Amino acid sequence: MRPGLRFPFPARADARPLCIAHRGAPLYAPEGSGRGYDIAADLGSDMWEVDIHLSADGSPVACHDPVAGGRRVAQTARADLPELMDLEDLVERAKARGQALYLDLKVTGSGQACLDVLSRHDFRPVALGAFDDAEARALVAADCPWPVCVLVRPGEDPFARAAATGADIIHLCWERAAPRPQDLVTPDLMSEATRRGLGIVLWHEERPEVLHDLLRLPVLGVCTDQPELIGGFDSLGAHGIEVVCHRGINHIAPENTLAGARLCYDMGCDWLELDVRTTRDGEIVVMHDPTLDRTTSGSGPVLDHDWAQVAPLDAGSWKAAHWRDEHPPTLAQMIDLAQARGRRIYIENKSVPAQQLLDFVAARDFLQDCFFWSPDPALLREMRQLSDRANIKSNTMHHAGFQAMVDDLAPQICEIQVADWETEAPLCRARGIRPMLQYFGADPAVFARIADWRPEMINLDRADLLLAALKARS
């Protein structure tokens, strides 16, 4: 990199490549939106990639394409582009979320406009990149205090591009350049980059097998449309907590859907919590409420509908229009997903007959990869009477005391509230019962305590806040 560069490329303390959220989190919110960037931070991003165009009055705005809302950005005043975030907004949002910014300059002159905004805000964790050599050269000539990147297309010589511009970093946009693009980042290429004092940033990538290889390379960062794949719990290494996601990552995706389940597992959570009940024709469907009204486009009791009537319902629009293609899943679909990912499920039985549920799970060879609870004490007791192999969860608050819980259900797991953790967790460990902390709140101070406790398991709504607390501790 240039000698005397005042603000180097940001870096993690553990030297792992940065998770660069490509246009935010476009699988979960509109690209380039404030909501999308906030979700990216929740999912573990370190840096936000932002495409920059200039409005007619010279304001840098976050937009990939030259047209927004049917208007050409370059011919429209900033005030008439309310759907776009400008760089001023993004800097403030990035400061609040502890994120660095990677600015992809799409038009001539956007680099200098960005420098003006960044200097006014004294915002330091930034890199600026461009496909256009002239724009990169202009930044270097202006003595840009932040790293300058050249974005390199397939077939281009990255070192010739760097030499032609004076850039500090080569950003290899090679995701479609080969069946295994990671093989293109050869030891010779990396050695030559080191010899020339150049950093390397890599393309946006969502294929787990490719990411597995990329994250082991000595590069500065990897872009991705799915920050949870890079910045989630798996990025921490061994942290000692089995994370149980209550109804999936439900503050982002609609609860009890396949989308929420996939996000849960992609984020590195160990267990998905879901609720089951039956339709009129006996299908075991994943749904919390006894009626369809709150979380689907249907209405009335679930038990009054056949599965053929429930299956096509919209189970996502109540959360956001982005999720309108989600439908209610069956327990079979959820088990298939868990088995494909090598993950597990906590099944909360709302009303399924005990024998039917146990037989269903056992027939799928999933009995040892799940545990059960029911708010109906009689139903939970019946499940235990029918099977001593089923993993049962209970809570001391639902019994006369700890020993009464053990005598009644012989549970494998005991759920404990935050206020009771330090008292009840040792009792569980002494009896060979796994203690599981429950916290459905969103107080960062409580998550800081939880990160210190390192409970064996935790049932939570906000996996993102636990992730942030563990990252802060590490």
User: 207 with 243: CB under 8 angstroms?
Assistant: no
Is the pLDDT confidence value at 101 over 90? yes
Domain of residue 434 covers 239-473
For 40-58, write each residue's pLDDT tens digit.
Answer: 999 999 999 999 999 999 9
Distance (Å, rounded) from C-alpha 73 to C-alpha 75? Answer: 5
Is the pLDDT confidence value at 4 over 90? no
For 223-251, write each residue's pLDDT tens digit.
Answer: 999 999 999 999 998 999 999 999 999 99
Residue 21: the pLDDT is 98
Residue 12 lies in a domain: no
72 shares its domain with 167: yes
Distance (Å, rounded) from C-alpha 152 to C-alpha 132? Answer: 10
Residue 87 lies in a domain: yes
The string of DSSP letters for 106-160 reads -STTHHHHHHHHHHHHT--SEEEEES-HHHHHHHHHTT-SS-EEEEE-TTS-HHH
Domain boundary (231, 263, 279) is at 231
What is the percentage of the chain residues whose pLDDT exceeds 70? 100
Q: What's the number of domains the chain is made of? A: 2
- Binning pLDDT at 50, 70 and 90, where does residue 219 land? very high
Residue 183 lies in a domain: yes
187 shares its domain with 278: no
Residue 1 lies in a domain: no
298 shares its domain with 439: yes
Residue 435: the pLDDT is 98
- Binning pLDDT at 50, 70 and 90, where does residue 337 land? very high
224 shares its domain with 291: no
For 254-268, write each residue's pLDDT tens digit.
Answer: 999 999 999 999 999
Residue 178: the pLDDT is 96
- Binning pLDDT at 50, 70 and 90, where does residue 474 land? confident
- CATH number of the domain to which 166 belongs: 3.20.20.190
Residue 106 lies in a domain: yes
Residue 384 token pair: 């235990």
Residue 285 lies in a domain: yes
Residue 432 lies in a domain: yes
* pTM for the structure as a whole: 0.94
412 shares its domain with 274: yes
The per-residue b/e assignment along 295-333, b for 16 or more CB within 10 angstroms, e otherwise, is bbebeeebeebebebbbebbbbbbbeebbeebbbbbbee
For 7-39, write each residue's pLDDT tens digit.
Answer: 999 999 889 999 999 999 999 999 999 999 999
Residue 80 token pair: 């008439």
Residue 372: the pLDDT is 98
Q: Cβ atoms within 10 A of the Cβ of 123, count?
A: 19
Residue 328 lies in a domain: yes
Domain boundary (231, 262, 296) is at 231
For 180-189, write each residue's pLDDT tens digit.
Answer: 999 999 999 9
